[in-house]
Structure 1
Amino acid sequence: MSNLKEVQARPSMDNNNTVLHITMLPWLAMGHLIPFLELSKCLALKGHRITLISTPRNIKRLSNLSPNLSPLITLIELPLPHVHGLPENAESSMDIHTNKSQHLKMAFDGLEAPIAAFLERSTPDWIIYDYASHWLPTIATRLGVPCAFFGLFTAAFLAFIGPPSVVLSNEATWSTAEDFTVAPSWVPFPSNIVFRLHEVKHALPENISGFSDSYRFGIALRDCEIVLVRSRVEFEPEWFKLLTEFWQKPVIPVGFLPPSVEDGADEKDWAEVNAWLDKHRTKSVVYVALGTEAKLSQDQVNELALGLELSGLPFFWVLRELPGSTKDGNDMGMLPDGFEDRTRDRGLVFKGWAPQVRILGHSAIGGILTHCGWNSVIEALSLGRALILLPVMHDQGLNARLLEEKKIGLEIPRDERDGSFTRDSVADTVRLVMVEKEGEPLRSKAKEARVVLGNRDENEHCFDGFVRFLMEHKRQQG
């Protein structure tokens, strides 16, 4: 697996040394591109050939491949078609404001013809695709190539959005934001895994792309041969069972795909960060990172900053200025007057991209204040870091509820309607999770979760089952 020290890539010894050629097509977001690349690396370490398709700027954003993997992984660049209303050079969700996400999907849909032409020439054994490319299974069927939907979400999220009768319906099941805040009728067991109103009130954009996200998910799930989930049955058994009942096809866990601590770090950047972390005691620092897309209001940035100051604990805060932000009180880069000077002795605000996995792997880090993106959760728990939860958008709210239900994270209290929170709630939650006696069970649970999420052998056993399925299917078809 990719969290191992990399060894020479080798052909699998099962099924007569069958070597597969697999094409990958992720959605245009770093939170999707990175796990698709991780999956590619894991397959290449088994000796299989991978072709990963994306746009030029996104391909350049991916970390360099190690010499033993680069002969087996080919990165293909296809220019993104221009769409009116999409900013120039925008090729990823990190390049745009969230109100332009439908424009990006329209541009992505414009890749259908060039991708079809490429697949006709390359004849892969399998195609693994993402939710946005609902048109991909039709191409695969025409070419006689089996395809797999790779769900970069928890099984809980994929089951929450509904069975086929819901996600493929023309009726507006999710017509209001309030609909998301109660347990769906199709969940047959008690569940608190629901959204809060503030997490979804802006999640119902005008459907200018012609296809709702629900429809894209529905077609992607309906028309694949198998559903792949970046999780394990042991972590969410009831949700895997429900998902299988909904779609009546193999739902296969691929494991958590925890990345290598060495992955994706520029040595110059890391030297600066490492020097700062080395000055702090073991597990004393809270790492604060809200992903590449999550956007807080100016008031929320202020309260988060003042809460970190009030906590009295060391912190390392990665703060990015997001596309579309302005200077009129909605800029994530604006901090309270004097904040950095007052906290200089124990806090660092790192403005820009930071080597997150390496930071989390440093002994000084005790916990993470996270937006609950599934990538970040996996990275943190695979290293045993305690979780302070501040979900903002997309699936993050459901992830937060799932983690709280498992008692491996604690959410910062917020107003459920507008998402506001106070500096006191930030300080109290950070201190409880990081240092106070009442937080010891959470810290212990995080250590236990490392066994499930970060265990090399168990993740590899799970992954090997997935690979055997792919090869057995090819053998049967061959």
Structure 2
Amino acid sequence: MFIHGVYLLTYIDCSLQTAFMEETDKVLHIVMFPWLAIGHLKPFFRFSKCLARKGHRISFISTPRNLQRIAEIPHDLIHLINLISFPLPEVEHLPPDAESSMDVPCVKQQLLKIALDLLEPSVRSFLESTEPKPDWIVYDYASHWLPKMAAEIGISRAYFSLFTAAFMAFFGPPAALMNGENARSTAEDYTVVPEWIPFPSNMAFRVYEMTKNMEKDSSGNNYDSGTSDSLRFGISIHESDIVIFRSCEEFEPEWFDVVRKIYTKPVIPIGVVLPMEDEEDASEDNQEWPKIKDWLDSHECNSVVYVALGTEATLTHKETRELALGLEQSNFPFFWVLNRGNHSAILPDGFRERVSDRGFIYAKWAPQIKILGHPAVGGFLTHCGWNSVTEALGFGRVLILFPVMNDQGLNARLLQEKNVGVEIPRNEEDGSFTSDSVAESLRLAMVSEEGKRVKDNAKRMTDLFGNKSTSDSYIDSFVSFLIHYK
């Protein structure tokens, strides 16, 4: 049924194909070790629950505060998911309560990587002593020391990319990442489509996007962790047995072709890993949902713009002002989540009063999946974080693209190429934009005849990003691969 199913069989001897379907009773012990970011912790945990529901044992490693932040283990999975808590070692300049990238400014995230690296002895001790011995460890890009350790202990290694195949293809072969070949040291270096992309594409960053990604703090300190991100990525991929992608083969087939060629090892898409019904029911902010729902219920179907820029993105005073004025000028009802920084204090004078009849400004952690699933929501003005994108496309919401940091610029290019979103025009050098460009982009995506094709394409994504049968098929194929590997 799916391309990925065909691909998997190329890595498995044909003589195993009958056993591939018959063997269902082998229980795996899988260790999960995500990077210290909510946008990584949550999908790793969601993936863990999917695997546990298939009957496999999970050991999920993180720090105390991060384990409290992810949803509680469902009652029926308590016997299969074991949370392993390691206190984060103290690091100079890292606040004592900082355990996640949302706890520190972007420029200080390298300090978290220093702390993560200091967890190596604790992780080794656990892997060597836990029973039964793990069959697999699934890890993130930052823990570059982990695959070598796991190999020494005799545990199979799976690098789990929470980035798209397109994003990872842009950064190239592992050897180049590790050896500094094709080195890109300036923001301008990242604005060119790399030579290993064999087809026409717009897959490149804008200058302002990479300038922000490379910025230092006000004192000029970039808090170097001692290991570059490119080296972490390169080693994590190179020393893995397999590479897993939280993406769909059918959505970006050309980019999966590229990563398979440059990685020269099994590359396995697992679909988007759908959120489970219990996920937001356990949220401490779930008590706010009735009030939010009442407001959404008061608006017509597909009329509301949901605005949320993730847990880490910060806007300047001017950017916040222009975005607010653009929402006002568009005349659409909107639900705007402002949960990072004190943006609500720098909204334009009189803005709240002028939009009080159609604007809901929310300064807490919002139940995003419930909001996106409400029929009143028609469009999503998003920072283009892959987690948010997959959730929105699962409900067929058209995207208004406003990338802010990290991988988001390339995600926006991919979503434009796939014609499921409209990007707000910005100055390519400094990233500036106007309220007019915000309002015009919203109208284009939400109501214009010109944008109808984009809206229709987004609606068609529900079968790929929101279909339980599709998701289960991906997970089943992946589990079968793990069981029969080697």
TM superposition score category, shorter chain reference = over 0.9
Deviation of the 1:203 alpha carbon? 2.1
> Residue 230 of structure 1 aligns with which residue?
246
Q: Does 1:242 pair with 2:258? A: yes
Q: How does 1:77-96 map to 2 (within 5 A)?
A: 77-96=85-104
Q: Tell me what 1:36 maps to.
A: 44
Return the alpha-carbon distance in structure 2 between the equivalents of residues 426 and 16 of structure 1: 52
**1:294-305 matched pairs, under 5 angstroms:** 294-305=313-324
**Letter of the 1:253 counterpart:** P
1:321–1:332 Cα contact (<8 Å) kept: no
1:290 to 309, 312, 315: 309
| 1:187 aligned partner | 197
Distance in 2 (CA, whole Å) between partners of 1:454 and 1:282 is 19
| In 2: Cα distance, 1:46 partner to 1:171 partner | 42
Are residues 1:280 and 2:288 paired?
A: no
Cα distance in 2 for residues equivalent to 1:198 and 1:261 = 39
Contact 2:168/2:259 (<8 A) preserved: yes
Instruction: Check if 1:321 corresponds to 2:340.
Output: yes
> Could you report, residue by residue, the CA deviation over 1:167-201 in whole angstroms, capped at 9, with x for unpaired residues?
11135711100011110112111111111111110
CA distance, structure 1, for counterparts of residue 322 and residue 306 of structure 2: 17
CA contact (8 A) 1:262 1:358 kept: no
1:169 pairs with 179, 193, 203, which one?
179
Deviation at 1:16, TM superposition (A): 5.1
Q: Structure 1: how far apart are the matches of 2:182 and 2:114?
A: 21
Q: Answer yes or no: is 1:113 the counterpart of 2:121.
A: yes
Are the aligned partners of 2:74 and 2:278 in contact in 1 as well (CA < 8 Å)? no
The amino acid across from 2:167 in the alignment is F
User: Alignment partner of 2:462: what SS?
Assistant: helix
Contact in 2 for aligned 1:27/1:132 (Cα 8 Å): yes
CA distance in 2, matches of 1:301, 1:262: 34
Q: CA RMSD in A?
A: 1.5
My pick for the range that moved more, 171-180 or 261-270, is 261-270
Q: Would you say 1:388 and 2:407 are equivalent positions?
A: no
Match of 2:326 among 302, 307, 320: 307
1:50-102 superposed Cα distances (whole Å, 9 cap, x missing partner): 11111111000001222112221111111000100112200000000011011
- In the alignment, is the contact (CA less than 8 A) between 1:81 and 1:107 conserved in 2? yes
The 1-side partners of 2:467 and 2:347 are apart by 39
Instruction: Name the CA shift for 1:332/1:83 in 2 (closer, same or farther; >3 Å).
Output: farther
Does residue 1:405 correspond to 2:424, yes or no? no
SS of the aligned residue for 1:28 comes to coil
Question: So what's the TM-score if we normalise by structure 1?
Answer: 0.93
Structure 1 residues 14 and 333, CA, compared in 2 at 3 Å: closer, same or farther?
Answer: farther
User: What is the alpha-carbon distance in structure 1 between the residues aligned to residue 384 and residue 235 of structure 2?
Assistant: 26
**Matches of 1:14 and 1:50, distance apart in 2:** 23
Runs ≥4 in structure 1, deviation > 6 angstroms? Answer: none
Tell me, in whole angstroms, the C-alpha distance in 2 between the residues paired with 1:13 and 1:320: 47
User: Would you say how many aligned residue pairs link Structure 1 and Structure 2?
Assistant: 456
Q: 1:262 to 1:384 in 2, by over 3 A?
A: farther
Cα–Cα, structure 1 residues 16 and 282, in superposed 2: closer, same or farther, change >3 Å? Answer: closer
Question: For the residues of structure 1 that align with 2:156 and 2:278, how far apart are their CA atoms?
Answer: 34
Instruction: Return the alpha-carbon distance in structure 2 between the equivalents of residues 373 and 237 of structure 1.
Output: 20
Query: Any idea what SS the aligned residue of 1:410 has?
Result: strand
1:137 is matched with 147
Task: Measure, in 1, the Cα distance between the counterparts of 2:274 and 2:440.
Answer: 30
Q: Sort the Cα spacing of 1:241 and 1:131 in 2 relative to 1 into closer, same or farther, 3 A.
A: same
Q: Secondary structure at the match of 1:68?
A: helix
Equivalent AA in structure 2 for residue 245 of structure 1: K
Match of 2:226 among 206, 210, 216: 210
Deviation of 1:13 after TM superposition, in Å, equals 8.0
Cα deviation code 1:219-277 (max 9, x no counterpart)? 00000000000112111111111111111100001111121355224431212211211
- Residue 446 of structure 1 is matched in structure 2 by 458
Structure 1 residue 333, shift from structure 2 partner: 4.7
Q: Aligned partners of 2:24, 2:185: CA distance in 1, in Å?
A: 52
- 1:126 equivalent to 2:142? Answer no
Q: Aligned pair in 2 of structure 1 residues 141, 264: CA closer, same or farther (>3 Å)? A: same
Structure 1, unaligned runs of 5 or more: 1-11, 326-330
* Aligned position for 2:356: 344
Match of 2:31 in 1: 23
In structure 1, the residue matched to 2:15 is none
Structure 2 stretches lacking a partner, 5+ long: 1-19, 217-221
For the structure 1 residues 290 and 304, does the alpha-carbon distance in structure 2 shift closer, same or farther, using more than 3 Å as the test? same
Opposite residue 40 of structure 1, the aligned amino acid is: S
Q: Equivalents in 1 of 2:268, 2:126: separation in Å?
A: 27
CA distance in 1, matches of 2:299, 2:74: 32
1:251 counterpart letter in structure 2: V
What secondary structure, in the 3-state scheme, does the structure 1 residue paired with 2:337 have? strand
* Cα distance in 1 between the residues matched to 2:182 and 2:91: 27
Q: 2: distance between equivalents of 1:38 and 1:47?
A: 15
User: How far apart, CA to CA, are the structure 1 residues paired with 2:257 and 2:27?
Assistant: 31
Where does 1:409-420 land on structure 2 (aligned, <5 Å)?
409-420=421-432
Q: Is the 8 A contact 2:108 2:223 kept in 1?
A: no
1:312 maps to a residue whose letter is N
Superimposed CA distance per residue, residues 191-221 of structure 1 (whole angstroms, 9 cap, x where no aligned partner): 1111111111032364611111000000000
Give the corresponding residue for 2:170: 160
> Bigger shift: 23-32 or 169-178?
169-178
Call closer, same or farther: CA 1:34–1:44 in 2, change over 3 Å: same
Q: Report deviation, 1:449.
A: 1.1
Q: Counterpart in 2 of 1:362?
A: 374
Distance in 2, Cα, partners of 1:423 & 1:353 = 26
Contact kept, 8 Å, 2:328 with 2:355, in 1: the verdict is yes
Scaled by the length of structure 2, the TM-score of the pair is 0.91
Q: Which of these residues, 259, 270, 276, is aligned with residue 275 of structure 2?
A: 259
**Partners of 2:32 and 2:225 in 1: how far apart?**
23
Aligned residue number for residue 49 of structure 1: 57
Query: 2-side partners of 1:395 and 1:321: how far apart?
Result: 19
- Matches of 2:116 and 2:173, distance apart in 1: 26
Partner SS state of residue 378, structure 2: strand
* Distance in structure 1 (CA, Å) of the matches to 2:333 and 2:95: 38
Distance in 2 between residues matched to 1:101 and 1:366, nearest whole Å: 35
Distance 2:468 2:24 in 1: 26
Contact 2:313 2:340 in 1 (8 A): no
